[in-house]
Chain A
Amino acid sequence: MKQVAYYKGCLASLSAKELDTSTQALAPKVGLELIDLESVTCCGAGDIHEAEPDYYLHLNARILAYAEATGSDTLMTICNVCTLNLRQADFMLKGDDALRERVNANLAAVGVPPYSGAVEVKHFLWLVADGEGFELLKASAHKGLKGIKIAPFYGCQILRPSKLLGFEDPDKPWSLERIIEACGGEVVDYPAKIKCCGFPIIQAREDTALGELIQPIEQAIEGGADAIVTPCPLCHLSLDAWQSKLNAQRKREGLERLKPMPIFHLAQLIGVAAGLEDSELKFKRHIVSMKPVLAKLEV
């Protein structure tokens, strides 16, 4: 079993609890032992990075420091935004001695263990798309997806900027597709899978965000997908919870309602293929009903 420090982030702690429970239930099946972090906060998302960037750096340094303190060499994230934020902070600190010294001095002043760059931040997706994790995933997906059509949605911050993430080619990613197929599903490919769901501006600029959000949903529907899968709970929230807003907008414009598109968290998709319980997967928490696709899986 590979020990990893587990950083679940804000959404998985609260409104996207289903992601946390699925991940925790799935982890041992793919060879991951999740170590809880002693104490952490929100990573700040793009918001603290944009409002108080020095604070963003410190919050993330603190998370990295507590991850290091577990003794693990890997900090596992389950959200695109957390991944980018933590990796960026990590690179900022690694390459600048003076900056690292100042931040460590501040951490020490408030009682946080020091940051020394000993952990690498990896999204759960990366741990199971390749290597040992992938082998275990294949082995565990015994129930399979029975050929249902899944449209992968990467979102932005698991791919770009690629110099900070670098797991796969940002224009031709393959990890979600590989997992879908390994679990027995059929991939629905479409251009908007690497575009933005609009979540960062879904409140401040709703119309603009909806203009982005419509693209993956429409294209997935056109491709005949039974569901979309995404590795980011923020993308999940907009894809799932904001479908109703898309339909409200379409109603105003005199257009037809969209066919409802169920949205899987990555851990749920693998989980259902691995036979996890409904109490662990918690599909009932979704806004768009998962029933149609679950029916196809005879779950």
Chain B
Amino acid sequence: MQVGLKIWRYSAATGDRALREYEIDAPEEATLLDCLDIVKDRHDGTLAYRKSCRMMICGSCGMRMDGAAVLACKTRMYDIAHAGHVPVVSAMGNLPIVKDLVVDMDPFWEKFKSMKPWLQPGYDEPAEGKEYVVSQERMNVIHKEALCINCGCCVSECNAMESSPEFRGPQALAKGMRFVGDPRDGATVERLADYSDEHGIWECTRCYFCNERCPKGVDPRDAIAKLGAEAVKEGIDRDMGAKHAKWFVRSAETTGWLRETELVPKTQGVISSIKEMKFAMRLAVKGKVPLPFPPHVAERVDEARGLHKLVREQGKSGYDGIVQGEHSLARLDHGLEGEGPPAVELGLETKLADGSDR
């Protein structure tokens, strides 16, 4: 079949940047990676990209197609080619580009290493030099985090990292959860304290791009939420993000509705809130600062309080509260669910209003 590709060529050495178009003949089962191989072999040997396994396990071939990070070896080209669409292929985002589709992965690996990503055994010793005895169910807590192939697709699209390049990011934090949730690791509290720093758990903006882009189903955003839940459970909650989250809980079990006005001092502290006075007044004159008194109480809020008590007693606290839903949500991934969201319409409009490529 005929396949058209537009590839952003770039050289960090010279600074030259250009969008080149290629027309190739590829087999019907070809993936984007296969097409790049054909371009490099037969049309332009200078095209640079990483590849190895071509079966979605090594993580080498992360790149952007039409602005969204994908694994090139996972992306079948049949539908795209037959629709006559010419995708724009470019390097992953949030990482410096070295050449064409090759990015400098050093910042990625540095953040990974900053999580102390190795098992730190606790006091429990396995018997007679044999294995730790752990149930499969207990190990399933980190089932998804264990799938990560370090491809960088999540990092490429992370909105928080784009704004704050030092944010540790979805991959590193998911790796952190792999250890926090591993019963054999004895450094849980130290890890949570470390990961709760300025560029850790609470800097995640919850845009869910990482979940959406991950080609392996790791769901890094959920891993971050698990870390947050566990941190709060362990009382590691000094961060404003944690305080903010806890106030939602307090609101729900007292008045049912979010106690918006008190949210600011409860999150930022009284002194910082005073600094926000000017901002707050601007909102107040428009009626956007509801008086905390009398409290806006939901009907039958005692039910919400009662539920909180039961939930506390039943102890599905911390990351267990999120893990418990994974069995069910996995059915959506597997495509076996009878109900579930309607099929996604893959429209092919990729031009901006002014006619330029996305």
A contacting B, Cβ–Cβ less than 8 Å: yes
Using a CB–CB distance below 8 Å, which chain A residues touch chain B?
A: 10-11, 13-17, 38-42, 44-59, 62, 88, 91-96, 99, 102, 106-107, 109-112, 156-157, 160-172, 174, 187-191, 195-196, 198, 200-201, 203-205, 207-212, 223, 237, 241, 244-245, 284-287
* Distance between Cα atoms of A47 and B239 in the complex (Å): 13
* Distance between Cα atoms of A8 and B126 in the complex (Å): 53
* Distance between Cα atoms of A210 and B340 in the complex (Å): 35
* Distance between Cα atoms of A205 and B247 in the complex (Å): 17
Chain B, residues 322-358, CB within 8 Å of chain A (1/0): the string is 1011011101110001011111111111101100001
The answer, among B244, B249, B282, for a CB contact under 8 Å with A204, is B244
Contact A171 B68 (CB under 8 A): yes
Question: Given contacts A47-B247, A96-B325, could you give 7 more A-B pairs where the C-beta distance is less than 8 Å?
Answer: A38-B299, A41-B257, A41-B301, A62-B303, A95-B329, A196-B206, A211-B162
Using a CB–CB distance below 8 Å, which chain B residues touch chain A?
A: 66-68, 159-160, 162-164, 167, 202-209, 211-212, 219, 221, 224-225, 228-229, 232, 239-242, 244-249, 251-252, 256-258, 260, 263-264, 267-268, 279, 282-283, 286-290, 296, 298-304, 306-308, 310-311, 314, 316-317, 319-322, 324-325, 327-329, 331-333, 337, 339-350, 352-353, 358
CB neighbours of B302 from chain A (8 A): 110
A51-B242, A96-B328, A162-B344 given as contacts; is B358 within 8 A of A191 (CB)?
yes
Contact A91 B328 (CB under 8 A): yes
Contact A110 B303 (CB under 8 A): yes
Contact A166 B344 (CB under 8 A): yes
Contact B267 A50 (CB under 8 A): no
The answer, among B167, B205, B260, B314, for a CB contact under 8 Å with A198, is B205
The answer, among A14, A59, A286, for a CB contact under 8 Å with B296, is A14
Nearest Cβ in chain A — how far from B233, in angstroms? 8
CB neighbours of B229 from chain A (8 A): 50-53
Contact B288 A42 (CB under 8 A): no
Contact B257 A47 (CB under 8 A): no
CB neighbours of A208 from chain B (8 A): 160, 163-164, 167, 203, 205
The answer, among B267, B268, B352, for a CB contact under 8 Å with A190, is B352
Contact A10 B204 (CB under 8 A): no
Contact A285 B287 (CB under 8 A): yes
Can you sample 22 A-B contacts with CB below 8 Å?
A11-B258, A14-B258, A47-B248, A53-B225, A53-B321, A57-B321, A88-B325, A92-B324, A94-B328, A96-B325, A96-B327, A106-B311, A110-B303, A112-B303, A161-B208, A162-B212, A162-B341, A172-B349, A203-B263, A205-B202, A205-B240, A285-B286
- B330: nearest residue on chain A (CB-CB)? A95
Contact A42 B303 (CB under 8 A): no
* Distance between Cα atoms of A96 and B164 in the complex (Å): 38
Top 8 nearest A-B pairs (CB, nearest first) are A166-B341, A211-B163, A53-B321, A95-B328, A39-B299, A110-B306, A92-B325, A41-B256
